[in-house]
A = this chain, B = another copy of it.
Amino acid sequence: MTSTFEKPEKAVTIREVAEAAGVSVGTVSRALNAPATVRPATLEKVRAVIARMGFQPDPRAQNMRRRTTMTVGFIINDITNPMHSTVFKAAEAELRPHGFTLHLVNTGGEPEREAAAIDMLQRGRVDGLIMTINSEQDPECRARLAGLRVPGVLLDREVPVHIDSVMTDHATGMRQAVDYLIGLGHRRIALITAGTDISPGRERKRGFIEAFERRGIPCPDDLIRAKHLSAAFGQREASMLLRSVDPPTAIIAGGNQILVGVLRAIQQQGIEIGDEVSLVTCDRTDLATTYPGPLTLIDRDVEAIGRTAAELLLERIAGKSAEPPRRVVFPTTLILGHSCGPPPALARSAGPSRERDVRLG
């Protein structure tokens, strides 16, 4: 409507307000930050002038003087990962009421960028950090984490450093899933997941192996592919596995991006999920819950994870920096869909547990 360019009038400063109100700058400052200490009459007068002139304190000056920014840094390798963006959203919702706002850095998982992000943020730009550092092993990153000048919370990563963390019990979740598959008769179970250089990869692999051990069944080590959390990796490994001479009868996609690749590989080979190959995935994404079936998945409360990270951080910022680092571990839940059935060989002899539509492989 207004086609006239509102001239970006120079911001009004506290000094101008003080002059206009006929008081000192100190009084204006107190009127804003400690209203109880200024006489009601004066307070009202100052407030009127503030409102009239549309004064708002300059955050830069406040940051400078208060040595605080009311900003929290969020470091993540890929914000387009639905799990990560959900954590971010939940953390923001928790922090906003406390006046905090978030600085988001998308690192792509590269060690240098992660180290650089920690560096640039923690040096006066934020009051706290929530992060998923992919370079658990990188000495640079570890040094940065060890020397952190602001409180920090680590998400789903295990770094030998004194810092709060919010973890997921991926191992137990994986063990349950594998146990479920073993119970259905599967022995040739494949696991495609993150590299063992990061906690989720290590934990999932551990849970996978443990499930077999507890049953006293030899673990199909040749079917464990723990390298990357990407769709491309998922597709490549799933394709190779499915084409091999002794293919798995069940696949566990250990990561929501991996699932995308695994599904593509399965489609490419025209294989029927649940009948020819059972499928379990991790994390409740739109794809996992909406894909026909739907898919059996290892769920976790991602929003609670984001909320908890924010809570831990808020407590630290509020001053409990002396207390020992805390570590909150969230459980997982196996949610049964219809993507698993008995392995084909078994199904052919014994009665099938659910309707199938047998096709040629």
Neighbour of A1 across the interface among B105, B119, B147, B160, CB < 8 A: B160
CB-CB < 8 A to A231: which residues of B?
286
Q: How far is the CA of A287 from the CA of B263 in the complex (A)?
A: 11
**A59 contacts B123, C-beta separation under 8 Å:** yes
> In this assembly, does A56 line the interface, its C-beta being within 8 Å of a C-beta of chain B?
yes
A103-B106 in contact given A61-B64, A69-B60, A123-B59 (Cβ < 8 Å):
no
> In this assembly, does A202 line the interface, its C-beta being within 8 Å of a C-beta of chain B?
no
Q: How far is the CA of A50 from the CA of B228 in the complex (A)?
A: 39
> In this assembly, does A102 line the interface, its C-beta being within 8 Å of a C-beta of chain B?
yes
**B86 contacts A80, C-beta separation under 8 Å:** yes
Q: A88-B106, A287-B290, A290-B291 are in contact. List 8 more A-B contacts (CB 8 A).
A: A1-B160, A2-B146, A8-B149, A11-B124, A58-B124, A264-B290, A267-B290, A286-B287
CB A239 to nearest CB in B, in angstroms, measures 15
**B63 contacts A60, C-beta separation under 8 Å:** yes
> In this assembly, does A120 line the interface, its C-beta being within 8 Å of a C-beta of chain B?
yes
**B123 contacts A58, C-beta separation under 8 Å:** yes
> In this assembly, does A142 line the interface, its C-beta being within 8 Å of a C-beta of chain B?
yes
**A11 contacts B86, C-beta separation under 8 Å:** no
CB-CB < 8 A to A23: which residues of B?
none
CB A302 to nearest CB in B, in angstroms, measures 10
List residues 100-121 of chain A with CB under 8 A from any CB of chain B.
101-106, 119-120
CB A198 to nearest CB in B, in angstroms, measures 18
